[in-house]
Amino acid sequence: MKNSSSWLKSVKYQAKGVLGPEVTLAQEAVPGFDQSVMNRLRVLLIGAGGLGCEIAQGLLRKGVAQLKIFDGDTVSLTNLTRQYFYESDLGKNKAICLGKNLLNEATRKTEIIAYPIMFQKGVEEKIDMSCDVVVCAPDNDKTRASASRHFLNKVPVIFTGLDEEGTTGYVFIQEPGKACIACARPDVTESSIERNPCRQAAAIIDLGKIISGFTIFAVDSAVMNRKRDWNFRQPFMAGYLPETLKTVEKRKGCQICGKK
Ligand SMILES: [Zn+2]
């Protein structure tokens, strides 16, 4: 790995896990769940915010082999109502703090590598992005477009995001050779504005838990035989609108997967 300056430095954490392989027996009883796949699974997580924290915690509890975390942002006070950070983390990098805080969540010997930079910066710096599946949970569409293109036709990428009112969110699975995020959401482009909704957007932990639950289920379904009959899902907390549940097909002229 190239470290051109100290702020780029990644931090590696090794979780000890808990004694006894029987710790995973209950989840192994779930139809289609394969612990041996989980025990080898390398996940790359983009974004350590409201969704990223919940997703990472779920993956560590399930016993994932390796988790790489990318986030260039720092912990602020309003994050504490829903993200796995504490007062002592305020002002520090999110990826680094999440890596440290996840150590107590591990049930197995997970390796956690935290990169205190944005995903795009990691690509520029030629950081090792090898993984089996990507979870893309940033706060902007520019990063989503960039991740979609980088991993297109290589590994499954699970995209997730929340609206700015705290009422709904979505999960979309981009699988090699199938529809990409811009097929599902044509407004996702590399020229999307790099907004920072964390400053003004409404956000609450209940919605984050719902959406991240579907996201970590989607991870399983992409790498093992847990059955899934959708690639796009959008539930609404209040229930006035019905949940959107569909299979998005490849879109002609798509700005990401349509180009040669
Ligand atoms: Zn596409």
> pLDDT of the chain along its 260 residues, tens only?
444 455 579 999 999 998 788 999 999 999 999 999 999 999 999 999 999 999 999 999 999 999 999 999 999 999 999 999 999 999 999 999 999 999 999 999 999 999 999 999 999 999 999 999 999 999 999 999 999 999 999 999 999 999 999 999 999 999 999 999 999 999 999 887 665 454 568 999 999 999 999 999 999 999 999 999 999 999 999 999 999 999 999 999 999 999 65
Q: What is the pLDDT of residues 160-207, one digit of tens each?
A: 999 999 999 999 999 999 999 999 999 999 887 665 454 568 999 999
Query: What is the Å distance from ligand 1's center to 189 Cα?
Result: 11
- Domain ranges (residues) in the chain: 9-16+30-246
Query: What is the Å distance from ligand 1's center to 27 Cα?
Result: 34
Tokens standing for residue 205: 């932990």
Tokens standing for residue 85: 């950070």
Query: What is the Å distance from ligand 1's center to 182 Cα?
Result: 5
User: CB of 138 within 8 A of CB of 159?
Assistant: no
Which superfamily is assigned to 9-16+30-246 in CATH?
NAD(P)-binding Rossmann-like Domain (3.40.50.720)
Work out the end-to-end distance of the chain between its first and last CA atoms, rounded to an integer number of angstroms. 30
Neighbours of ion ligand 1 (CB under 5 A): 180, 182-183, 254, 256-257
- pTM for this prediction: 0.95
What distance in Å separates the CA atoms of residue 144 and residue 152, rounded to the nearest whole number? 12
Give 137-194 as a DSSP string: --SSHHHHHHHHHHHTTTS-EEEEEE-TTSSBEEEEEE-TTS--HHHH-TT--TTS--
